[in-house]
Amino acid sequence: MTTIGNNGVAASKTNTQPLWLLAEVTYRCPLHCAFCYNPTDYDKHTQNELTTEQWIQALRDARKMGALQLGISGGEPLLRDDIEDIVREARKLGYYSNLITSGVGLTEKRIQEFKEGGLDHIQLSMHDITEEINNFITNTKTFELKKKVAAMIKGHGYPMVLNVVIHRFNIGHIKEILEMAEALGADYVELANTQYYGWSLINRSQLMPTKEQIDHAEMITNEFRQKVGNKMKIFFVVPDYFSDRPKKCMNGWGEVFMIVTANGDVLPCHSARVLPGMAFPNVKEHGLEWAWKESPAFNKYRGDDWMKEPCRSCPEKEKDLGGCRCQAFLLTGDAESADPVCTLSPNHHLIEKAIEDAKNPQLQAQPIVFRNDKNSRRIAAGEAPELVKEFHALP
């Protein structure tokens, strides 16, 4: 619900609560994954990270507004040495907290402190059963380390949540990946098909599998699920490009999800900063309550007042809220258009073309642009137009 204030600016009226808070505490990362959704210009946010005190204040403010689930993410959060303090405060406040990590930097000493501080679970990223693919896609030698870290997580009595981003290079190994997860004693496995934002959008033709590969992977996943039952919960997230209808992105803009980024920007979704003309609030200037309830940015796409056709008169508009604003903008140049994933979108051919492109051996063979500081600086400075020419909004 939105009302217009007497200054003519859309002012706040929302009863929603940010149940999920994602703290992207740093964009620094020892890995260089080709599918990373982080902003391609992240490098400019690595020098102005929030302090421990600022994070703790943000945690308190969000908790007062009803936030319950806390994700501590990045980049690699363990590159900060104050995660122990953040975890302790989170527990004290009553959050259910989750450290989302590559495993690099997790030591016996740190995991013990997390346990004592009350961290509830750790989500570890894994990439493949083969050292070759793991090291290729992350552009690092981290294969052995991840197995050691998995054992450490299990050894400390944590639920083991494995997150495996799926792309062309590992989609043929789904069964083996699930077997590995079972052998490691995973309680939850997320098979997260790559979605195309940030770095993964640049590398789209190199990463995207075919529809047949995805269908096959889903079938194998279903069989495995039958076999293991509740012992290991498996989530298989069907990628947008292969759906007929868009997802209800973030369960609705400003409905349940709030992100605070490394430099303090407050966002309704991971990639919202790609949208043009948006001034996102920052915790250095505004409280989280104002950001959530009052800020023009959070009210901009809340509900469905902003919609135009074909969404506006669509009988399904409440179901998916027109899909993802970032995807609409990144692919069509218009943030208020229907998510082109939808077969009812006049721009759906862009998705069909992307799927066709991904079958083109020439495009597949383009070198992958890994997520690293040098590439980020080049993209931010406009020195790499060849990387971004296809897409509207990349800086």
Partner 1 sequence: MTTSVNPADIYSLARHYRFQWEEAQQCYVLLFPEGMIKLNGGAGEVIKRVDGNKTVAEIVIELQQAFPDAPDIEADILAMLQLALEKAWLEKRN
Applying CB under 8 A, the residues found at the interface with partner 1 are 17, 19, 64-66, 68-69, 94, 96, 98, 120-121, 123, 158-159, 161, 187-188, 190, 229-230, 233, 235
In the bound state with partner 1, the residue whose beta carbon lies nearer, of 289 and 373, is 289
Shortest reach from residue 168's CB to partner 1, in Å: 26
Residue 161: CB minimum distance to partner 1, A? 5
Residue 137: partners with Cβ closer than 8 Å, 6 or more residues away: 33, 34, 35, 127, 128, 167, 169, 170
Q: What angle do CA 206, 104, 61 make, to 5 degrees?
A: 95
Q: Name the minimum Å distance from CB 261 to partner 1.
A: 21
Residue 64 or 211: which CB sits closer to partner 1?
64
68 or 314, CB closer to partner 1?
A: 68
Cα–Cα distance, 193 to 212 (Å, whole number): 14
Cross-sheet strand order for the sheet of 266-267: 233-237, 188-193, 160-166, 121-126, 96-101, 69-73, 20-24, 257-260, 266-267
- CA 171 to chain centroid: 19
Could you tell me which residues are beta bridge partners of residue 10?
4
Least separation in angstroms between residue 159's CB and partner 1 is 4
d(CA 131, CA 135): 6
Work out how close the CB of 152 gets to partner 1 at its nearest, in angstroms, rounded to a whole number.
Answer: 17
Between residues 121 and 300, which has the closer beta carbon with respect to partner 1? 121
Closest separation in Å from C-beta 97 to partner 1: 10
- Closest approach, Cβ 309 to partner 1, in A, equals 35
Nearer to partner 1, 255 or 339 (CB): 255
By beta-carbon proximity to partner 1, the closer residue of 187 and 304 is 187
Nearer to partner 1 by C-beta: 191 or 387? 191
